[in-house]
Structure 1
């Protein structure tokens, strides 16, 4: 996943996802600009409490798994190396 400099647009698996602030979407913080499909994108937390509901493990996409594991070991997130 890549984000624009403003973090208002995400690019994931060929989709362009726009931040859904002020749109009144229930249970979503991004939407696909082509299909209007809603998504919840969560930033990871090193204590693994990054699920939306309940104590279960988060779902991590296969193409993000290596980056997620590195983050859990202390590496910065891509694009967030400077904070």
Structure 2
């Protein structure tokens, strides 16, 4: 399964960009429609059926909604907030190298 270091933010139960956020390693299915995060299975939200326009994945077990995207070098991952994500220890060195200009693993240009 492909793995990527990603920005993940919980959207359910929080005002816009106020939910907890992480820089973490996710595993993805071959189709990239399913992500695996901290014991959760997240499915990609499809079409207009989604309740929260700020979410692009949801937890298949409890329907909590998440935003998943690649991290940004300028640390503006949360669009409407200056909240900084928690960085998982197992990705910290790679993430800090990315912030200093190195590409993320699995991505040729960052």
Q: Does 2:65 correspond to 1:59?
A: no
> Kindly tell me: are residues 5 and 36 of structure 1, through their superposed partners in 2, closer, same or farther at Cα, counting changes over 3 Å?
same
Counterpart residue number, 1:21: 46
Q: How far apart, CA to CA, are the structure 2 residues paired with 1:6 and 1:73?
A: 31
Length-normalised TM-score, structure 1: 0.73
Question: Are the structure 2 counterparts of residues 32 and 2 from structure 1 closer, same or farther at C-alpha, using a change threshold of 3 Å?
Answer: same
Mark the CA change 1:6 to 1:77 in structure 2 (over 3 Å): closer, same or farther.
farther
- Give ranges in structure 2 of 5+ residues lacking alignment: 1-25
The structure with higher relative contact order (CA 8 Å, sep 6+) is 2
Give the stretch that moved more between structures: 73-82 or 20-29. 73-82
Distance 1:82 1:5, change over 3 A: farther
How high is the TM-score relative to the length of structure 2?
Answer: 0.59
Specify every segment of 5 or more residues in structure 1 that has no aligned partner in the other structure, as ranges: none
The change in CA–CA distance for 1:21 and 1:66 in structure 2 (over 3 A counts) is farther
- Name the SS for the 1:41 alignment partner: strand
